[in-house]
């Protein structure tokens, strides 16, 4: 029994061996900013009692809607989040320059429905609110997205040691995500692109399955693509989830890598050989209409290789420029470049 316990402790230590947690830096003074990303938020996290615009890791069945303007510094490096080292400074750090918590879902819908297309991002395990918000701002800026960005911030516990609790929180958060998608469908948005990372991919798939079983057609009709990045899902569970989606949204893309150290830990914790985000052979999922993009060749992303599609400057430069999609296609046995063109168009 000693050896498995030692390995488990080592695995958890690897996942927590990073610097201090990200914090929300709010700057209200009239300091000039160069680039601002407006991120809309729907969350089932409880609001912090000591911070007007922050949310903690506790659960609530009530969906709160908000809007955050996130400023990126002129020194921003692609794939990175420049966290404040002391007092937040727009010249060097990601900062929030303005924020609003909406009183009603109607106000939220009136704002997000201004554009035809929205991109919903579902963050992964061990993320606090600031980390998920700033990550989506980084994605939106680096990918040069023109659609309305909407973050679904579910109540992750913000610690690697509560992975099992977060797996339960995924189940808890399904109704909140369904409510958000239904609100977007009734807001006037004509197209939805759904992007999920890590265990957030399981949350998205469980929600889509739940909605399919319930016969919800309003959302299904406007889904214009699904992207799962390093999905922390058991492959057999994923196939069961897909079987309820009729038809499977198209395009449907999975970004995977053989070198994902976080998923190696999750595979160990769940007692299985691999997670969905470690499958790199597209023929295993092609029969379901799922395209696999193998990012194993890219090593300039995050330390754990768990968010390569979001943090690798090489991958980002390819995804945001349509002609360069040919390069990614060549590296991945001819995946159709039209998939990436539709999902990451300028």
pLDDT digits (tens, 9 = 90+) for 293-312: 889 888 888 888 899 989 99
pLDDT for position 5: 42
Q: How confident is the model at residue 20 (pLDDT cuts 50, 70, 90)?
A: low
* Ranges 25-34, 67-76, 304-313: which has the least confidence: 25-34
Domain edges within the chain: 2-343
**Stretch 327-331: mean pLDDT:** 46
Query: What sign does the dihedral 135-117-319-297 (CA atoms) show?
Result: positive
- The full DSSP string for 65-125 is EEEEEEEEPTT--TT-----SSS--TTTS-EEEEEEE-SSHHHHHHHHTTSSEEEEEE--S
Fold of 2-343: Rossmann fold (3.40.50)
Report helix, strand or coil for 267: helix
Does residue 130 register a pLDDT over 90?
yes
pLDDT for position 320: 65
Distance CA 206, CA 219 (A): 15
pLDDT (tens digit, 9 = 90+) per residue, 228-276? 999 999 999 999 999 999 899 988 989 999 989 899 988 888 877 889 9
Residue 217 Cα distances to 123, 133, 150, 163, angstroms: 25, 29, 21, 33
Output 281 or 61, whichever has higher pLDDT.
61
Residues 6+ apart with CB under 8 A from 345: 146, 322
pLDDT (tens digit, 9 = 90+) per residue, 232-243? 999 999 999 999
Distance CA 64, CA 21 (A): 23
Spatial CA neighbour of 95 closest among 123, 130, 126, 66: 130
pTM of structure: 0.87
Does residue 50 register a pLDDT over 80?
no
Give the DSSP letter of residue 182: H
Does residue 282 register a pLDDT over 80?
no
pLDDT (tens digit, 9 = 90+) per residue, 186-202? 999 999 999 999 999 99
Q: Torsion angle of alpha carbons 87, 93, 94, 98, nearest 10°? A: 50
């Amino acid at each position: 029994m000693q050896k498995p316990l030692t390995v488990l402790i080592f695995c958890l230590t690897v996942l927590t061996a990073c610097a201090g947690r990200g914090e929300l830096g709010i700057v209200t003074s009239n300091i000039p900013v160069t680039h601002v990303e407006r991120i809309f938020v729907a969350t089932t996290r409880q609001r912090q009692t000591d911070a007007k615009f922050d949310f903690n890791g506790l659960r609530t069945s009530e969906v709160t809607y908000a809007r955050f303007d996130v400023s990126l510094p002129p020194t921003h490096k692609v794939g990175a989040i420049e966290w404040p080292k002391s007092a937040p400074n727009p010249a060097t750090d990601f900062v929030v320059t303005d924020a609003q918590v909406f009183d009603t879902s109607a106000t939220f819908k009136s704002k997000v429905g201004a554009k035809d297309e929205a991109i919903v991002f579902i963050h992964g395990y061990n993320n606090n609110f600031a980390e998920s918000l700033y990550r989506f701002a980084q994605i939106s800026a680096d990918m040069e997205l023109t659609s309305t960005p909407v973050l679904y911030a579910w109540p992750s516990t913000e610690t690697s040691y509560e992975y099992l609790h977060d797996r339960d929180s995924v189940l808890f958060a399904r109704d909140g995500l369904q409510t958000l998608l239904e609100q977007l469908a009734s807001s006037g948005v004509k197209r939805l692109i759904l992007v999920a990372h890590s265990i957030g991919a399981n949350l998205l798939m469980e929600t889509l399955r739940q909605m399919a079983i319930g016969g919800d057609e309003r959302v299904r009709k406007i889904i214009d693509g699904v992207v799962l990045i390093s999905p922390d899902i058991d492959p057999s569970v994923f196939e069961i989830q897909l079987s309820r989606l009729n038809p499977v949204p198209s395009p449907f893309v999975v970004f995977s890598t053989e070198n994902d150290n976080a998923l190696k830990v999750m595979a160990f914790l769940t007692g299985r050989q691999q997670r969905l985000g470690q499958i790199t052979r597209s023929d295993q999922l092609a029969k379901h209409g799922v395209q696999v993009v193998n990012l194993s060749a890219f090593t300039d992303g995050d330390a754990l290789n768990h968010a390569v599609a979001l943090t690798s400057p090489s991958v980002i430069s390819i995804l945001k420029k349509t002609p360069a999609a040919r390069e990614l296609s060549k590296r991945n046995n001819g995946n159709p470049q039209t998939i990436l063109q539709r999902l990451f168009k300028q």
